[in-house]
Amino acid sequence: RVQVVESGGGLVQAGGSLRLACTASGLTFKDYLMGWFRQPPGKEREGVACISWTGYSQYYKDSVQGRFTISRDNAENTLYLQMDNLKPEDTAMYYCAARKNRTYPGDVRCFDDMNYLGKGIQVTISS
Amino acid identity for residue 1 in this structure = R
Residue 1 has a pLDDT of 93
Is the CB of residue 81 less than 8 Å from the CB of residue 94? yes
Rounding to the nearest 10 degrees, give the CA dihedral for residues 21, 37, 81, 69.
170
* Mean pLDDT of all residues belonging to the chain: 96
Q: Which residues contact 44 (CB under 8 A, 6 or more apart)?
A: none
Residue 39 has a pLDDT of 98
| Percent of the chain clearing pLDDT 70 (strictly above) | 100
